[in-house]
Amino acid sequence: MTVEWNDKQPIYRQLRDLVAERIMDGSFPEGEAIPSVRQVSADYKINHLTVGKAYQELVDEGLLEKRRGLGMFVTVGACCALTSNEKQQFIDEEVSAFLERAKVLGMDTQEVVGLLLEAGGRR
């Protein structure tokens, strides 16, 4: 799998988000090992310190744990914690911005709800 790194945020942060996404979608199951720093560094052709920084951030958040001599493992409950955090971030950032934009455009709540229901029905 290839990854396109962007210039909008540091690579370690993008890698952290990629690992978090894989935890949430079940690609990295709770209690299981994730790829080693060396493996990720080689696969994505990025510095091992960058990978280590991304992993350390996830350890600090309680989503990964280091097991001496064994590697990094996804903690039990990581998926639920991530999903909860991501939902809150979505509400705080994206929903708030969406509602502010709708307000600027003169849309009332009923109109926005109707459009959301209509768009949701198309899926």
Domain ranges of the chain: 11-76, 79-121
pLDDT attached to residue 120: 83
The per-residue pLDDT for range 77-118, each reduced to its tens digit, is 999 999 998 899 899 999 989 999 999 999 998 999 999 999
Number of Cβ within 10 Å of residue 74's Cβ equals 22
The per-residue pLDDT for range 41-81, each reduced to its tens digit, is 999 999 999 999 999 999 999 999 999 999 999 999 999 99
Determine the CATH number of domain 11-76: 1.10.10.10
Of the pLDDT bands very low, low, confident and very high (cuts 50, 70, 90), residue 1 is: low
- Cα 104 to Cα 63, 107, 108, 110, 113: the distances in Å are 39, 8, 10, 15, 16
pLDDT attached to residue 123: 56
Q: Give me 102's structure tokens.
A: 């709708």
